[in-house]
Amino acid sequence: GAGNLNIVKLLADRKANLMIIDGSGNNAVYWAARQGHVPIITFLHEKGVPINVSNRNGETSLHVATRYGHPHVVEHLCRLGGNVDVQDDEEETPMIVASWHDYSRICRILCSAGADLNIRNKEGETGLICAAQRGNAEIVQILIDNKANLDLQDKRGLSALHSACKRQQIPIALTLIQAGCNINILDTNHETPLHYASREGLLPIVEALTSFGCRMDLRNKSDATSLHLSARHGHTEIARFLCLAGLNINIQDKMVELRV
């Protein structure tokens, strides 16, 4: 962890086993990557120490360099042939880790290295879905610019747009809408982003969705439209807007009669 290259070289000269792995399955490159020591990584790589070894959690040196926020290490590992699409035991790639931790510079580096932006973790989340949940506009834009699939859904059926609406990330939602994502996409409860925006009281998103031509009449599994949800949660301004936009106020859901 101290990162002293001279000591590492001395140990190598004295025939120390550079390939040794600790009890968690981490090799010397992993620890150098975690601590941010590029010269030590270079030396170990030249001595044949592998950079793509996975530890007991499935993490590689590229995962840990990303998690600890070392863009210079990530860039160096990519240059040395680090596997940018490797998945850990949670099926998370370095890109997903970078998106979760708001490391925009690392996201750019991984994109430049050709990372697959559409790999999902165990929850079905992509880097874009994670960035949308986190509200990181810069990473969302990076992923859009690098042609990430905007409409992939997690295990609950949530797209990046659903996630942005659920977390009340208004700028992110507007960016995704303008980028051309599917605005009528359904989650596992048959709810559209309009349902989410109406429930959360997000008038700017409701306005954007309707201006882009979303379907207002779609019902969830309880037969509720976005109008039902806005009224039930006390968002009268949204309910009024939806009525003026032409949503049929006579539709009834399975729970209550609609009163606006």
The reported pTM is 0.92
Q: CATH fold of 183-260, please? A: 1.25.40
**What is the greatest pairwise CA distance in the chain?**
84
Q: Residue 97's pLDDT is what?
A: 99
83, pLDDT greater than 90: yes
Q: 157 with 187: CB under 8 angstroms?
A: yes
Nearest to 11 by CA among 52, 50, 43: 43
Q: Residue 138's pLDDT is what?
A: 98
Please give the C-alpha separations between residue 100 and each of 27, 175, 220, in angstroms, as whole numbers: 25, 19, 29
Cβ density class 130-142: b for 16+ within 10 Å, e for less:
bbbbbbbbebbeb
Residue 7 CB partners (closer than 8 Å, separation 6+):
none
Residues 204-259: tens digit of each pLDDT: 999 999 999 999 999 999 999 999 999 999 999 999 999 998 866 655 655 554 44
Q: 201 with 231: CB under 8 angstroms?
A: no
Please return the burial class of 216, using the count of CB atoms within 10 Å of its CB with bins 0-12, 13-18 and 19+: buried
Q: What percent of the chain has pLDDT over 70?
A: 93
CATH 1.25.40.20 placement within the chain: 1-116, 183-260
Mean pLDDT of 113-138: 98
CATH number of 1-116: 1.25.40.20
Q: Residue 246's pLDDT is what?
A: 81
Query: Residue 107 half-sphere exposure, CB side, CA atoms within 13 Å?
Result: 27
C-alpha span between 34 and 127 (Å, rounded): 21
Residues 150-169: tens digit of each pLDDT: 999 999 999 999 999 999 99
Mean pLDDT of 37-44: 97
Residue 190 CB partners (closer than 8 Å, separation 6+):
218, 219, 220, 221
